[in-house]
Amino acid sequence: MNTHAYPVTRTDAEWRARLTPEQYAVMRNHGTERPGSCALLYEKRAGTFYCVGCDQPLFESKLKFESGTGWPSFNDPVAGSIETTVDRSYGMVRTECHCARCGSHLGHVFEDGPPPTGLRYCINGVALRFAPAA
């Protein structure tokens, strides 16, 4: 985890109480869920995807697309909701995405997405909560 101060902070015990073991492994220890394992991959209704760690709105469903990677993918986040850092793990250089409010690891962003942004936010579904539009 980076050392940046976030508006929402919790102790390790509070994170463990709030998150499932899989969510904790992904969001607090920079893990990755198995591709194709999350039901949100198939979510097609209008609505908003929120951070499980702090309820920050992260992505609107209209910007979700099928990337064929096995993880929910989006063109663009809600303005100001995502921050990025350089991830040099596993012998490669990637851009990590984390929640700007609580710092939880969400996934990575790649420059191989569709127009208009050309970006693909590849997000672990266990880090998201979906709320359908009213």
**Could you list the active site residues?**
122
Could you tell me what percentage of the chain is helix, strand and coil, using 3-state DSSP and rounding each to the nearest 5? 20, 30, 50
Cis peptide before 116 (omega within 30 of 0): yes
The three-point CA angle 96-77-45 to 5° equals: 120
